[in-house]
Amino acid sequence: MSKFLKYFLAVLLGSMVSALLFVLGLFMFIGILAASSGGEVKVADNSLLVLDLNGPITERSSQDPLEQIIAELTGDVAPAGLNEVLASIKKAGEDERIKGIYMESGLTMAGYATLEEIRNALIEFRATGKFVYSFAPVYTQKAYYLASVADKVYLNPAGMLDFQGLSAVYSFYKGTLEKLGIEMQVFKHGEFKSAVEPYILEKMSDEARLQTEVYLGSIWNHTLEKVAAARGIDPQVLNQSASRAPVMMNDEDLLATGLIDGFRYKDEVLSELKVLTGTDEKDDLEALSIASYSKVYLPGKKKGLEKNKIAVIYAEGAIDNGSGGIQSDDLSRTIREARRDSSIQAIVLRINSPGGSGLGSEIIWREVKLARETKPVVVSMGDLAASGGYYIACAADSIIAHPNTLTGSIGVFGMLPNTQGLLNKIGVTTDRVTTNDFSDFPALDRPFSASEKALMQAYIERFYGIFLQRCADGRNTTVEAIDEVGEGRVWSGANALELKLVDKLGGINEALATAAGMAELEDYRVVELPEVLDPFQQIMQSLSEGASARLGKQILGEHYRTLQTIGEWQNAYPVQARLPFDLELN
């Protein structure tokens, strides 16, 4: 009886705790909704715009209440939308009430091209005569690249600054698969198409190492050039400082490099900002976050009532590889609707994708091609627009990339597991009856026969030929010319410009200007597609698609991405146009 009572009380207590958490979450949700639907934010004179980017930066703000609630409960930082950040910086430059920007973004999580967008926006902001100050207890290398454009870069006296060059580390699963008794059967075209290597090798091939060295070198040289210009340091001297590992330097040596302007505690930085804004030392600074300032309309400015529109269509994530990312049917529908909308005069397709399904890429490519026949289509590349990401870009009128975008990777591969060894280990055998030679093709419980391998490789070769033709037609060149820079090789945006795979270097603003010029528009408003879901729809989508991912990240931490990569191949389309490896630059 006592044991029953103990279990009963435990269940009752657990239920009460769950109910309490649910009620708290509900109240937080209501509070967030109330705050998000509140009136226009008031901006005081001599205000600061606070740029807190200590977390992930996605292409656009999701406005997902559940995401914000989870961030509040876990203490994590909710993702910031690049579109919202850029719009707020531009608006702050025109707002006489905003005197400067204060950045606390030492642990930002974004690619170099994304940071390039924000960095360029900050340069334009400073050109208005306003100041940008940056402070952080710790600067990662990416965060420092962003901060280096500030008037003053301050570091906590006990802090650390990482600026020591680029590295790319790849994981290989061949040993794990062998222990499990799984053989990955690989088919590909492109000597540089190294996306399959983690499953069949234990280290990088010579081709994979060569292409990585080339694009890492290109991105690092660009980083040195930009930081050197911002800080007034010779690029060679800056590179020498990086080779000395500033993260381990003593205070005197770090100051001597010119990477920072001084060591400060936060209260000292705030006091300096009070002087710049004319704020009394005993008063608080007038400061607004990006989330708050994004709701502000400038006095005398139109509120987007222009008849003519340019649609910015977002394509972010892998193509048809599980939940989230780019779903080819959905993106195709969005492009088709924009093509048929007579009020939309031009389209900017914003791509941040490593590629994915070959079939999905072809489906999207078709809609981009049809849209181009109707109105100007300009591609703006983010951190990644490679393989399938380049496939869907090549049909556009013009392609614009950042110097540190990763693109190209024009190649195709197919990969299917043979699980016979695993089945044998656990005592499972299979048998079959077929009516034709390829009735059970592809079978995952046995190795491919020679004829099946030939069939699969022929399909890969045929699809690669289609890929080449799509690129040649879109870039107005020959298949042979594309093949020379193809073979699955990855290029930086700067490399791609030299190879004529892209037309111009720049970001989303350059893409909008190009699209407006092609459509002969002086006045227009930007509409972002697909339309953002309402809060209830956001929650339902998050619960159905993102809950397991969030839970996995919380439990597994840094190992989650590795297991996610392996898991994606279980349901992946067998022919892939995807970036080699799961790239993560420091």
Residues whose CB falls within 8 Å of the CB of residue 469, separated by 6 or more in sequence, listed in order: 479
Q: Kindly state whether residues 149 and 48 are assigned to the same domain.
A: yes
Q: Kindly state whether residues 157 and 72 are assigned to the same domain.
A: yes
Q: Kindly state whether residues 388 and 494 are assigned to the same domain.
A: yes
Q: What is the mean pLDDT of residues 315-327?
A: 87
Q: Kindly state whether residues 364 and 484 are assigned to the same domain.
A: yes
On whether residue 434 sits in a domain, the answer given is no
- Looking at residue 279, its pLDDT comes to 96
Helix (H/G/I), strand (E/B), else coil: 453? helix
- Looking at residue 77, its pLDDT comes to 66
Confidence of residue 554 (pLDDT cuts 50, 70, 90): very low
Q: Which of 265, 293, 321 is the last residue of a domain?
A: 293
Q: Kindly state whether residues 318 and 284 are assigned to the same domain.
A: no
- Looking at residue 576, its pLDDT comes to 75
As a whole number of angstroms, the distance between CA 382 and CA 387 comes to: 14
Q: Kindly state whether residues 145 and 271 are assigned to the same domain.
A: yes
Question: Above pLDDT 90, what percent of the chain?
Answer: 70
387 is annotated as an active-site residue? yes
On whether residue 187 sits in a domain, the answer given is no
Confidence of residue 555 (pLDDT cuts 50, 70, 90): very low
> The domain containing residue 91 runs over which residues?
44-164+245-293
369 is annotated as an active-site residue? no
More confident residue, 188 or 19: 188
Residue 393 confidence (pLDDT) above 50: yes
Q: Kindly state whether residues 386 and 485 are assigned to the same domain.
A: yes
Count of domains observed in the chain: 2
Residue 513 confidence (pLDDT) above 50: yes
Q: Kindly state whether residues 289 and 369 are assigned to the same domain.
A: no
Q: What is the mean pLDDT of residues 96-114?
A: 96
On whether residue 104 sits in a domain, the answer given is yes
On whether residue 546 sits in a domain, the answer given is yes
Q: Kindly state whether residues 51 and 124 are assigned to the same domain.
A: yes
- Residue 255 maps to which CATH number? 3.90.226.10
Q: Which two tokens stand for residue 323?
A: 């939940």
The active-site residue, picked from 387, 398, 409, 542, is 387
Residue 67 confidence (pLDDT) above 80: no
Instruction: Give CA angle at 254 (165, 123), nearest 5°.
Output: 65
Confidence of residue 495 (pLDDT cuts 50, 70, 90): very high
More confident residue, 556 or 285: 285
More confident residue, 298 or 265: 265
Q: Please name the helix (run of DSSP H) or strand (run of DSSP E) that holds residue 174, with its range, or none.
A: helix 174-180
- Looking at residue 344, its pLDDT comes to 98
Q: Kindly state whether residues 408 and 316 are assigned to the same domain.
A: yes
Confidence of residue 193 (pLDDT cuts 50, 70, 90): confident
More confident residue, 163 or 32: 163
On whether residue 239 sits in a domain, the answer given is no
Instruction: Give CA angle at 139 (134, 140), nearest 5°.
Output: 135
CA distances from 144 to 169, 223, 572 (A): 21, 10, 37
On whether residue 522 sits in a domain, the answer given is yes
On whether residue 462 sits in a domain, the answer given is no
Q: Kindly state whether residues 51 and 128 are assigned to the same domain.
A: yes
The active-site residue, picked from 91, 99, 188, 193, is 193
pTM: predicted TM-score of the whole model, two decimal places: 0.85
**Which conformational region is residue 75 in: left (phi greater than 0), alpha (psi within -120 to 50 degrees), or beta?**
left
Q: Which of 237, 258, 293 is the last residue of a domain?
A: 293
Q: Kindly state whether residues 154 and 256 are assigned to the same domain.
A: yes
As a whole number of angstroms, the distance between CA 130 and CA 464 comes to: 51
Residue 584 confidence (pLDDT) above 90: no
The lowest-confidence range among 73-87, 120-134, 457-471, 474-488 is 73-87
Confidence of residue 130 (pLDDT cuts 50, 70, 90): very high
- Looking at residue 403, its pLDDT comes to 97
